[in-house]
Structure 1
Amino acid sequence: MRGPVDPRLLRVASASRAFLLASAGITVIQTAILVGFAWLLTRALVGAIDGEPVARLWPFVGLALLLVLARGALAALAERVSARGAAQASRQLRSALVDAVGRLGPGWLARRNAASIALTAGHGLEALDAYFGRYLPQLVATVITMPVVVVAIFAADPVSGLIVLVTLPLIPLFMVLIGLATRSVQRRQFDTLTQLAARFADTVGGLGTLKVFGREWRAAASIGDVTRRYARETMSVLRVSFLSGFALEFLASISVAIVAVTIGLRLLDGGLDLTIGLFVLLLAPEAYLPLRQVGVQFHAAAEGAAATDDIFEVLDAAREAPVRDSVVRGVSEGVLLAAQGLEIRRGPHLIGPIDLAVSAGRIVLLEGPSGAGKSSVLAALLGFVEYRGTVETSAASARDAIAWSGQRPGLVEGSVLENIALGAVRPDEELAAQCLRDAQASRIPLDRALGPGGAGLSGGQAQRVAVARALYRLRSTAACVLVLDEPSSALDAEIEAALWRTLRAVAEDGAGVLLVSHRTSARAIADEIVRMPPARVEAAA
């Protein structure tokens, strides 16, 4: 966290500014109630000590009770406002993070550990709820309440006000010193948790290979070591938190005690009126309470704040990334998607240039040896990787024009229907069933439940469900080009031949088809074959 408030979070989560203003308004009323309650209670107690009639004291007691009820209602309202504001701010930040990852694309994701990004987007953003919902409102309350209470004390008794002014800076001084330690241990804890998530995900993903080579116990031991280190880091965070709480409570108690002792001595020698002394004694703890609460909420929000650097690393990378999707109006009649002079850098290798055009009713086959960059060309068309050249489309963007199925099925946990109609608000079961039939997967029921990554289907079945998903998008959206990357690599010859017939039918219905395949049988259905040129080595600019 950069200072007491990270301005980057407030800029991205604009909802935070609105609810902080609402919190400030509530705090102003609460502060007025606090001072009024202290004065009414003082007046009632002093009157009772002086022997005033009960009838004269009841109005003060009644008003004090009303203020207590009002303060309780305002506290509940403040909690509600803070909770809703925190939820809105976190939602905005999560949306910005998801949009940034989407703009950076699979090429960027492939160079990073997916588990650590998922942890940042999930647990890290959830931990920021305490930052938005508790820490920031408390900081606002401190800025408003503390000066008002100090001024009220100073106006009533300058001596007590001076003591408060002298002792009050000790609390933020210790907060800064302890806060530096808190930020350090919290950062280590979050880094260790990120490492644990990444290690666990990698181990689960490669568990089959580890068991074949008899290395699963070593992987388990490694996870155990990281888990124990995370436990130690967590205990360090707790120790610092308890130390912080003790230090703040101790300083506040000592400061209030000094005020109380001076008031008591002056009451004994008659140098101070009881009404003033009692009023100041009631307000003195409230002068220190906001700062103590800031320290408490700082520790509660520290875990979320530790994730902000990771969050803004992604946001900054997306901001600096160039726009990869070029929309050129006025493409040739009948052309749905075209690329001219398309070049993609992949490490030291430069893929391309590639010229291709996918027209309505035609199947274009993109050919080349393994590693030539065919999938990279598709990624460029989808806007997932940086490229040179132009991409032309008749739609709003190339991504809007394309219904795509990649080499990996990319299925998610849920039913087959949910996977086929991925993202649809109201899935069309009849259309999904038709797409399954056209993808040669009619025997797979729509209500079959799949595990993470499509667990529960064979490789060929998962591939056909992915093709059905692309067909569903083509038929249910404005997409006009079906792009398939090795759709038959896990299929036998008979099912492959049936799939090729489906692609021909799709083209005859007016769509364009861009196909990447190593199978020689794909040549028989292609209207045009585009051969990938050899990749060449070019020094990075």
Structure 2
Amino acid sequence: MRPLDPRLIRRIGPARRYILVTAGLGFLTALLILVQALLIARLLAPVLSPAPLSDDGLRWWGWLVAEPARELAVGLAWLGAVVAARTAVAWLQERLAHRAGVRVISEMREMVVAHVAGLGPRWNASGRTADVVTLVTRGLDDLLPYFVRYLPQLALAVTVTPVMIVVVLGLDWLSAVIVVATLPLVPLFMVLVGLLTRERSARHLEAMQRLGTRTLDLIEGIPTLKALGRERGPAERVRRLGDAQRKATMGSLRIAFLSGMVLELLTTLAVAIVAVTMGFRLIHGDIGVETALAVLVLAPEVYLPVRNVGTHFHASADGLAAADAAFALVDDADPAGARRSLGAAPALTGATVRVSSLDVLTPDGARLAPARLTFEARPGKVTALRGPNGEGKSTALLAITGLLRPDGGTVAVGGVDVLTDDAAVELNGWLAQVAWVPQRPDLGVEGRTLSLGMRQRVALSRAFDSGRPLVLLDEPTAHLDRGARAEVIDRIRALADRGATVVVATHEDEVLAAADAVVDVVGAAVASEEAS
């Protein structure tokens, strides 16, 4: 985690205008704080001074707040106006920062979801999707304090602190030396506390993702567990995961409170050094009351923005950890082999799809499944892919859809390799011509109340009625009874008779008998030097 992550700043996009306005409001806040401090010094100096004031204790900064402000009516009126202006600027600054944060978080959610959607069904079946759900919902929500609190305070730190140091230097050089000498201690302790915060935030995100994964798995499996009478079994496990997340959250809060306490104590001691030094000099008459009051009011304002930067950075550390995880996900996982679309997808109506020497590595990299697969799928014909489980029938269909990039071979239409080159055709245009029904179709919310066989029939019916020229069916009769199987086979034949290109992965003898061509799909072990 970095205090100002360039990857996060690049994602600001349309919110950049809000961030720039927020920085400008930070500089305006610096001027208002300065005027407020000088007004307080003007008002209190006549009351605390043992003798009538003859000199202007604000020296050449006195032009900002004229000497008539020492009068109670004039000074209080000015002070009320400055306080009201500071309140309005702070409200506007926080409002704009909130808008910027919401926009950036929304963009990051879209980026992660779009990227994961492009990784294809094989990645989605890896079990990491629940972590992604937790990341884009609760995880990135924790990033809002980074924009609402941290970035505005960072803007104040680079505007208010330098301005205040210059003003203190103009009032009393010795106090300015003390402030400049003690100020670096604040970021030093921020770094020390931040090293501990980083590990705690990572553990918090991990606990939250683990709980989210278990909970989503439980919700998905509730119908099965209820059918087996085990729906109450996982309750204790979920309770333990909840306790782990609670402990991780409390640990993050403890670190945030600890950082605030450490920085508060440090800045209090630094201001105390200035105050004690000022007190001795007042006793010896080395400094005026008005000057001393101005320095004492301004000294805490020098440390406050830097201290708040550390406090809010640690408070937003969970969100930064989530952002880091989002960038790592996008950088590590390469959707569809980093396809670059350089041309429109060819028309599939009446065209033959030629698959040549298709190779796809298994996720562990130990086998090719399929290996050297070659066949032609012609319009008006049913091509059946046959082979044992695990040899790559479903994977071959995924490669043809373009949702999975093969490790070797080509998928060509009209002699042009359309999916496997770096210069592949536009994927959406290709998918718009393909109807694909996997083994376990996902119909969304409406399919939750349907049995697996009913979901299969609904998905097949949609594919048959889609009118798309290329139809890919993965075990279309696996979950159906005998009557439904015969109906599906008849519809597959009718679809091919209407001119569609149909490719079916199946074990069923009835489907194989109805096919015009049968292709055997086999896998192969990868040579040790190639696997390495």
Normalising by the smaller structure, the TM-score range is 0.7 to 0.9
Counterpart Cα distance in 1 of 2:190 and 2:69:
46
Counterpart Cα distance in 2 of 1:13 and 1:206:
39
| Alignment correspondent of 1:157 | 172
| Alignment correspondent of 1:455 | 448
1:16-415 equivalent positions in 2, closer than 5 A: 17-46=16-45, 58-202=73-217, 220-319=235-334, 322-323=337-338, 334-335=350-351, 337-346=353-362, 347-350=365-368, 351-387=370-406, 388-392=408-412, 396-397=426-427, 398-413=430-445
Label 1:269 to 1:382 Cα distance change in 2 as closer, same or farther (>3 A): same
Report the AA paired with residue 168 of structure 1: L
- Counterpart contact for 2:39–2:69, Cα < 8 Å: no
Post-superposition shift, 1:301? 0.9
Structure 1: segments with no counterpart, 5+ residues: 417-453
- Counterpart contact for 1:381–1:399, Cα < 8 Å: no
- Counterpart contact for 2:139–2:319, Cα < 8 Å: yes
Task: Return 351-360 or 79-88, whichever deviates more.
Answer: 351-360
TM-score by length of 1: 0.80
Post-superposition shift, 1:182? 1.5
Report the AA paired with residue 518 of structure 1: H
1:516 pairs with one of 501, 505, 522:
505
SS at match of 2:142: helix
| Alignment correspondent of 1:10 | 9
Post-superposition shift, 1:251? 1.6
Post-superposition shift, 1:27? 0.8
Label 1:215 to 1:460 Cα distance change in 2 as closer, same or farther (>3 A): closer
| Alignment correspondent of 1:536 | 524
Counterpart Cα distance in 2 of 1:112 and 1:483:
25
Task: Return 304-313 or 80-89, whichever deviates more.
Answer: 304-313
SS at match of 1:391: strand
- Counterpart contact for 1:335–1:357, Cα < 8 Å: no
Counterpart Cα distance in 2 of 1:483 and 1:299:
52
Q: What are the Cα deviations for residues 274-314 of structure 1, in whole angstroms up to 9, with x where unaligned?
A: 32222222222211111221122122211122234432331
- Counterpart contact for 1:85–1:132, Cα < 8 Å: yes
Post-superposition shift, 1:367? 3.0
- Counterpart contact for 1:324–1:380, Cα < 8 Å: no
Q: What are the Cα deviations for residues 131-154 of structure 1, in whole angstroms up to 9, with x where unaligned?
A: 233223322321222111122112
Label 1:505 to 1:75 Cα distance change in 2 as closer, same or farther (>3 A): farther
- Counterpart contact for 1:47–1:57, Cα < 8 Å: no
Counterpart Cα distance in 1 of 2:79 and 2:377:
79
Counterpart Cα distance in 1 of 2:137 and 2:403:
23
Task: Return 43-52 or 308-317, whichever deviates more.
Answer: 43-52
Counterpart Cα distance in 2 of 1:279 and 1:507:
89
Counterpart Cα distance in 2 of 1:89 and 1:199:
29
TM-score by length of 2: 0.82
Q: What are the Cα deviations for residues 216-262 of structure 1, in whole angstroms up to 9, with x where unaligned?
A: 88855444444333333333323222222221111222222222233
Report the AA paired with residue 341 of structure 1: S
Report the AA paired with residue 392 of structure 1: A
SS at match of 2:503: strand
Are residue 482 (structure 1) and residue 471 (structure 2) matched? yes
Counterpart Cα distance in 2 of 1:390 and 1:139:
53
Report the AA paired with residue 483 of structure 2: E
| Aligned residue-pair number | 496
Label 1:219 to 1:332 Cα distance change in 2 as closer, same or farther (>3 A): closer
SS at match of 2:4: coil
- Counterpart contact for 1:359–1:512, Cα < 8 Å: yes
Counterpart Cα distance in 2 of 1:108 and 1:503:
29
Task: Return 224-233 or 176-185, whichever deviates more.
Answer: 224-233
- Counterpart contact for 1:207–1:216, Cα < 8 Å: yes
- Counterpart contact for 2:15–2:99, Cα < 8 Å: no
Structure 2: segments with no counterpart, 5+ residues: 54-66, 419-424
Label 1:381 to 1:317 Cα distance change in 2 as closer, same or farther (>3 A): farther
Q: What are the Cα deviations for residues 304-325 of structure 1, in whole angstroms up to 9, with x where unaligned?
A: 2223443233112234973368
Q: What are the Cα deviations for residues 106-148 of structure 1, in whole angstroms up to 9, with x where unaligned?
A: 2233334332232222222221222233223322321222111
Label 1:55 to 1:303 Cα distance change in 2 as closer, same or farther (>3 A): closer
Counterpart Cα distance in 1 of 2:251 and 2:142:
18
Counterpart Cα distance in 1 of 2:473 and 2:88:
60
Report the AA paired with residue 156 of structure 1: L
